[in-house]
Amino acid sequence: MADEMGAPKDRKILVAVDESEESMHALSWCLENVLFCSNSKDTLILLYAIPPRAVYPTFDNTGYVFSSDFLAMMLKYNNDAAGFVTEKAKRKCKEQVQDVKVETRIEHGDPRDVICAVAEKLHVDVVVMGSHGHGLIKRAFLGSVSNHCVQNVKCPVLIVKKPKPDCRSK
């Protein structure tokens, strides 16, 4: 991408990260294949979406089965996990690409909606995400975050699939 004068345009690249190997693979792939060829000062935005906690119906219709202490503990755990994952991703960025500007964002909500909303709000140039490779039946029940983002994000979405191990390499 270049501006009217032919100079490389600074890009905003949103990478969705979570605890999965697939998301870290997508980040590494992005660092090797998207950032390496750029002469501009790209900004890499690492986004972690903390999914909403499940609310289970109760006999008295209050909507909570767990105590407030347990819910507070789960919120702390989710925030700690998000911090750990984003720090791990930042370290990976600094190790693979010396001169990259990295921002982190931790948002609460359904990852499908969070990724789409943040991409639009920040006017990113591309969204990069890993594919968990769920089969057709699992995708039908759980839905596909990547498919939802491809359908709803207004910029290009790059889905990076982790290669399966080669059975012949034994």
Q: Is residue 52 part of a domain?
A: yes
Contact assessment for residue 116 and residue 152, using Cβ atoms and an 8 Å cutoff: yes
Q: Is residue 34 part of a domain?
A: yes
Q: Is residue 7 part of a domain?
A: no
Q: Is residue 4 part of a domain?
A: no
The CATH number for 126's domain is 3.40.50.620
Cα–Cα dist 11/125, whole Å: 6
Among 9-13, 46-50, 111-115, 125-129, the least confident range: 9-13
* Cα torsion angle, 138, 139, 140, 144, sign: positive
Three-class DSSP category at 165: coil
Cα–Cα dist 16/36, whole Å: 19
Cα–Cα dist 108/114, whole Å: 7
Cα–Cα dist 26/129, whole Å: 6
Q: Is residue 138 part of a domain?
A: yes
Q: Is residue 5 part of a domain?
A: no
Q: Is residue 1 part of a domain?
A: no
Q: Which burial class, exposed, middle or buried, applies to 153 when counting CB atoms under 10 A from its CB (0-12, 13-18, 19+)?
A: buried
Digit-coded pLDDT (tens) for 49-85: 998 876 666 666 665 566 778 778 888 999 999 999 9
Digit-coded pLDDT (tens) for 4-32: 555 557 889 999 999 999 999 999 999 99
pLDDT confidence of residue 170: 47
Structural domain of residue 124, as residue ranges? 12-169
**Does residue 12 or residue 140 have the better pLDDT?**
12
The pLDDT > 90 percentage for the chain reads 51
Q: Is residue 133 part of a domain?
A: yes
Could you list the beta-strand ranges (E) of the chain.
12-16, 43-50, 101-108, 126-131, 157-161
**Does residue 115 or residue 94 have the better pLDDT?**
115
Domain count, the chain: 1
Closest CA to 114 of 103, 122, 143: 122
